[in-house]
Structure 1
Amino acid sequence: MTLVRLVAVLVLGAAVAFTATASVAGVGRDGAAAPAPSAPPVPETVRPSPAASAPALDRPATAVVTSSPATTPSQPSPSTTMLGSSAVPTGPARPGSARAQVADPATRLAVGALFSGGEHYCSASVVDSPHGNLVLTAAHCVHEGAGGGAYSDVTFEPGYHDGIAPFGAWTVSQVFVAPGWESASDPDLDFAFLTVRQDGNPATLQSLTGANRLGIDRGDPDPVTLTGYPDSTDLPVTCQDTATRYSANQLQISCPGFPQGTSGSPWVLDADPATDLGTVIGVIGGFESGGDDDVSYSSSFDSDVETLYRAAITG
């Protein structure tokens, strides 16, 4: 073998050995180390899918409204989520510094917890109405959506704390949701009004707790107060920050500390420092069934909410 052929053989052998070593070591096509396989994505935590005059609303009702008696033999489940059919919003989440803190239930009597099967699973609040018996929450808390019906065996306990219901339990007698929620679980329509009663009590709920006014098309940004009941505690939490526009039909707020159980929590504008009553412009719900522990969403309160409210007070 000539010296030239010997050199060629040695060079070829070295190249083969290098290729085999590169394949075992996981070297990428460009010579850099290939990235290790990524871990599977962690599923997002979502929330469960369960005497004053009426506000002056200055626009007529324009949409068909569905009224459902709360008699469907089904109950809300903390693991149920209702994702709707409308386009997914694409706006960025707004960073914020506010965080949820334990609230004083003595000054938030109009906010309470929804119960079913002896456990609280969502939040709700009293809204001003002529009959004083109207409660506002997220639609996915009280109605299956997408062709389903209203949950049964649901009660509202305003001012609930430490296992105590200072005004007792109020039975949900009728559930009002928008047609688009009932037919398609539309997240832009994730709000509901409930009529409630307490047998043997001649007083109205609103006369005992006070009520928030209903705000329609209030615009944005707005500084609001959120109050709700996490599943893991018997005390309400609250947070103040600015609500901003997330999409054409959704609002968002950055208030970490509102986990499962806080769906339906009211977004209150211009809250009175003594009573925390003001104008409710949203509830935790909507996109991603209300968001996650860091960012909360709400369907915009527009003419659809107004129409539903009118149906509920005359229903």
Structure 2
Amino acid sequence: MTPRPVRPARAAQAVALAALLLAAGTACGNGGQQAPTARVAPQSPAGDRIGTLAIRTAQGPRACTASVVHSPGRNLLVTAAHCVQSRRIGLLDGLVFTPGYRNGHSPYGSWPVQSVTVDPRWSAGDDPEYDVAFVTVRPVGGREVEDAVGGNPLGTGQGFDQPVSVTGYPNERDEPITCSVRTSAQSPTQERFDCGGYTDGTSGSPWVTPAGAVIGVIGGYQEGGATPGTSYSITFDGRVAELYRRATA
């Protein structure tokens, strides 16, 4: 497959009427072996906790993927930090989260982003070691997003070599893709998986264990990956646990 440019890796950027698009891509690796390729994700209640981040409406310009994580306020998402903020552009305004989006349909509506929590080291220098963000969304129709679709617990300190399913929304598709893989170490603080198809738009896609915990999101090294077949995440350790505490305080 043709490699994608390393910068801006998985985040494709464009400015139109002050709207920045940030997205995602990745590659083939797996020690020279043929990596699997993602397939269309079947609809399911758990899968509907994952959705698109787009500008203004569900049909607006796509940015990334995000998912609902359990929180006391029942209004929290997790995604990659580069999906929502960068030092060069600042905070991306006007984002809405549409869980379960598929083929033009928004079964639960769209939830406007209210606030974003990123680590100061990401804010100061787009440090790839802190490329994760927690995002609160406003209630819609008197309900919080977790009341509508549920939320996955956040998992930290799980280590490497974990089975996960990774579901996300490539910009060129109108339905999500998914792949079941095992994580491996990219470095002591970054991890990876190998599966084809994770192109622009899949940054922020959650790495979900069989028990339902989110232990990563596409992002980190190379903003998630330079080619569609190898994807990265920062390791969900104390850095992420502390950020979650800040987001839910």
Q: TM-score range by the shorter chain?
A: 0.7 to 0.9
Asked if the contact 2:116/2:136 (under 8 Å) is kept, the reply is: yes
Distance apart, 1:120 and its partner CA: 2.0
Cα distance between partner residues in 1 of 2:159 and 2:136: 28
Aligned match of 2:55: 116
TM-score, length of structure 2 as denominator length:
0.87
After superposition, the CA RMSD in angstroms is 2.3
Any gaps of 5 or more consecutive residues in structure 2?
none
Runs of 4+ with >3 A deviation: 41-45, 78-81, 92-97
TM-score, length of structure 1 as denominator length:
0.69
Distance apart, 1:93 and its partner CA: 5.2
Asked if the contact 1:76/1:142 (under 8 Å) is kept, the reply is: no
Q: Aligned pairs, how many?
A: 234
SS in 2 for 1:305: helix
SS in 2 for 1:130: coil
After TM superposition, list the pairs within 5 Å mapping 1:123-272 onto structure 2: 123-145=65-87, 149-199=90-140, 201-271=141-211
Distance apart, 1:119 and its partner CA: 2.1
- Please tell me whether residue 105 in structure 1 is matched to residue 39 in structure 2: no
Match of 1:295 among 218, 230, 242: 230
State the identity %. 40
Paired residue type of 2:11 = P
Asked if the contact 2:65/2:203 (under 8 Å) is kept, the reply is: yes
SS in 1 for 2:90: coil
Asked if the contact 1:48/1:263 (under 8 Å) is kept, the reply is: yes
Distance apart, 1:43 and its partner CA: 3.7
Cα distance between partner residues in 1 of 2:85 and 2:75: 19
Paired residue type of 1:168 = G
Match of 2:10 among 36, 41, 47: 47
Distance apart, 1:150 and its partner CA: 1.5
Cα distance between partner residues in 1 of 2:5 and 2:103: 31
Asked if the contact 2:128/2:221 (under 8 Å) is kept, the reply is: yes
Match of 2:20 among 66, 71, 76: 76
Paired residue type of 2:68 = V
Any gaps of 5 or more consecutive residues in structure 1?
1-40, 51-72, 82-91, 272-277
Pair 1:304–1:106, CA change in 2 (3 A) = same
Instruction: Provide Cα deviations, 1:174-199, integer angstroms capped at 9, x if missing partner.
Output: 00000110001011110000000134
SS in 2 for 1:234: coil
Asked if the contact 1:49/1:289 (under 8 Å) is kept, the reply is: no
The answer to which structure has the higher strand fraction is 2
Cα distance between partner residues in 2 of 1:168 and 1:235: 16
Cα distance between partner residues in 2 of 1:251 and 1:125: 19
Asked if the contact 2:23/2:83 (under 8 Å) is kept, the reply is: no
Cα distance between partner residues in 2 of 1:103 and 1:260: 17
Cα distance between partner residues in 1 of 2:235 and 2:87: 18
Cα distance between partner residues in 2 of 1:160 and 1:79: 17
Aligned match of 2:220: 286
Paired residue type of 1:76 = L
Pair 1:251–1:96, CA change in 2 (3 A) = farther
Distance apart, 1:121 and its partner CA: 2.3
Cα distance between partner residues in 2 of 1:102 and 1:149: 33
Aligned match of 1:16: none
Cα distance between partner residues in 2 of 1:266 and 1:74: 28
Asked if the contact 1:122/1:262 (under 8 Å) is kept, the reply is: yes
Distance apart, 1:284 and its partner CA: 0.3
Asked if the contact 1:49/1:140 (under 8 Å) is kept, the reply is: no
